[in-house]
Amino acid sequence: MGKTVLTYGTFDLFHIGHLNILKRLREYGDRLIVGVSTDEFNAIKGKKPVVPFEQRLEIVQSIRYVDLAIPEDRWAQKREDIATYDVDILGMGADWEGKFDDLADVVELVYLPRTDGISTTEMKRVLSAFDARHVEELKSTIDSIAQIVKELS
């Protein structure tokens, strides 16, 4: 049986940073299993995803580099998952550097550099800024038109 790689994440508003790490982690073995954080677990992580868990799970499962997507609903499940799926490598982005080294007795740890310039947080900020600014621009345009109509009548 080849090497099994395992990783975890929320994968909200799936973007190139998520794709890059899944693609690169898949290269470390022969199959990649991904634990996708449930909405309830995200509440524990202090995150409120835009995309519901069922959709995030289906998207991740559909990625060609992913062999199996499973729910992640608690921090402590990693050791169980490593045993259940006979995992050889636990891989995470570098923002998690060292955080899971307590599992070094049962798995090889790999931390990969994050993809610069992209994050779900940044995407949400841009989207919200656009909404607010866009509404303001629309309102002022409507006010200007209303003023012109008033002057013409």
Residues with a catalytic annotation lie at 45, 47
Q: What are the CA-CA distances from residue 45 to residues 42, 72, 96, 142 (Å)? A: 5, 11, 13, 42
Q: Please select the residue that binds ligand C2G; options are 4, 5, 6, 18, rule is CB under 6 A.
A: 18
Identify which of residues 4 and 10 has a Cβ nearer to ligand C2G in the complex: 10
> Residue 96 class from Cβ within 10 Å (0-12 exposed, 13-18 middle, 19+ buried)?
middle
Q: Cβ 141 to ligand C2G, closest distance in Å? A: 36
Length of the chain: 153
**Residue 58 binds ligand C2G, judged by CB under 6 A:** no
Q: Please select the residue that binds ligand C2G; options are 4, 5, 66, 93, rule is CB under 6 A.
A: 93
Q: Please select the residue that binds ligand C2G; options are 109, 119, 123, 124, rule is CB under 6 A.
A: 119
The span from the CA of 9 to the CA of 2, in Å, is: 23
